[in-house]
Amino acid sequence: MHLRQLVLGAGLAVIAAGTARACPDHSAKTAVSAARRPASATALLAWKPRAWAPVATNAMQVSIDPVDGAYGMPAADETPQVVVPAEEQPVAVTRRADGSVRAQLDERFADFAVVTLGADGKPRWTCVQGSGQAAKFMRAPAPASTPAPGTVWEEK
């Protein structure tokens, strides 16, 4: 069972990487390249920041029988119930012929400046990473990180 789960996990990782969104379509390189150029200023004007790429949260799952090596659907109790942190969900990856790799980040990896009014009515802003943390802040606004005592200058 242990080996089976390990193989399952490895398989999941490979599949997740392989099916990550926006993999390069090398077969259409030239045509796509030309088509991707903004056709006009109007097109660009209408182009707001692209929504960060959605996260691929599902992937095909396979199981390899530890006895005969046959592929099959995993049994119910073999399906890993792993909660993967948002920052570890797959991202789009481009592997180049020279062996270099580019990963496309999304809003999970952006740094968000968030602000709330302090007891004195003055805005206090702080920095959190990822849209999830920004949303969490907005649900319960409070300075995510309080300056150490004595590091905020006060006049009275």
- Which positions from 77 through 116 interact with another protein, judged by CB under 8 A? 85, 87-88, 90-91, 93-94, 96, 98-105, 107, 109-116
Q: Which of 3, 44, 67, 76 binds another protein (CB under 8 A)?
A: 44
Q: Which of 2, 48, 68, 119 binds another protein (CB under 8 A)?
A: 48
CB 54 to another protein: min, Å: 12
CB 70 to another protein: min, Å: 26
CB 62 to another protein: min, Å: 18
Binding to another protein, residues 49-68 (CB under 8 A): 49-50, 52-53
CB 139 to another protein: min, Å: 10
Of the chain, the end-to-end C-alpha distance in Å amounts to 67
The dihedrals phi and psi of 60, each to the nearest 5 degrees, come to -65, 140
User: Which secondary structure element, helix H or strand E, spans residue 47, and what is its range?
Assistant: none
Hey, what long-range contacts does 83-86 have (CB within 8 A, 24 or more apart)?
A: 86/55, 86/130, 86/132
Nearer to another protein, 60 or 73 (CB): 60
For another protein (CB under 8 A), the number of binding residues is 87
Distances (CA, A) of 98 to 101, 103, 139, 147: 9, 15, 45, 46
Sign of the four-CA dihedral 72, 84, 24, 98: negative
119 binds another protein (CB under 8 A): no
Q: Is 65 exposed, middle or buried (0-12, 13-18, 19+ CB in 10 A)?
A: exposed
Binding to another protein, residues 135-154 (CB under 8 A): 135-138, 141, 143-154
